[in-house]
A and B are shown apart, each in its own frame.
Chain A
Amino acid sequence: GAGVSQTPSNKVTEKGKYVELRCDPISGHTALYWYRQSLGQGPEFLIYFQGTGAADDSGLPNDRFFAVRPEGSVSTLKIQRTERGDSAVYLCASSLNQGSYNEQFFGPGTRLTVL
């Protein structure tokens, strides 16, 4: 079956622009996660959805970052007024349910470059 997919695979934008990154989780997975991986570092947690609601957004760095999951499936991470420091690989993962008993399946990521 299909895994987690993310689009676009690469996004280049200019400082100050708005970007949207999309995540299609595995069908039937109720939990969805966003992580950010900066160069030379491991992924860092951003936000977690259970169904349609953001159950934990404590990892979002500031109010320029926002994510939605309106129908409990596809999620979009939105970044306003992008800054060069936002350049990173943004990873999406999904799991059948929440909790570490449930394996998180990761997508290939979207590489965001802010010029």
Chain B
Amino acid sequence: AQSVTQLGSHVSVSEGALVLLRCNYSSSVPPYLFWYVQYPNQGLQLLLKYTSAATLVKGINGFEAEFKKSETSFHLTKPSAHMSDAAEYFCAVTPNNDYKLSFGAGTTVTVRA
């Protein structure tokens, strides 16, 4: 079985500051890992995904995430927050090439001017 834990349901950062969203997973098989973003009244949008290639994954909008097997983590970062980054972020896991995504509870990011 696969599961995801996102540490911190709310994160508040200043514009221009580092954004760090934490995700830890458990998986009985090598996982594929994803970060999705959800803006108000919109569908989930894929930010990036790890599929057992490079451990540092770059995504859209300046986000990146690093897969650390020893720590079972897949934390999401962005060096400099922008007001438009205010949204809810979800980490998800699935077994190798499976279709069934298991999501974390989400982290809401607010950006202070």
Contacts and interface: CB of A to CB of B under 8 A. Distances in A.
Interface of B: 4, 9, 32, 34, 36, 41-46, 49, 51, 90, 92, 94, 96-106
Contacts of B9: 40
Given A40-B105, A43-B103, A103 B46 contact: yes
A99 B98 contact: yes
Contacts, number: 65
Contacts of A101: 51, 97
Interface of A: 3-4, 31, 33, 35, 40-45, 48, 56, 59, 91, 93, 95, 98-101, 103-109
A99 B102 contact: no
Given A43-B101, A100-B49, 16 more contacts: A4-B43, A31-B99, A42-B103, A56-B100, A59-B100, A91-B43, A99-B98, A99-B99, A100-B32, A100-B34, A100-B51, A100-B96, A103-B49, A106-B36, A106-B43, A106-B44
Quick one: which of A44, A56, A104 has the most chain B CB within 10 A? A104
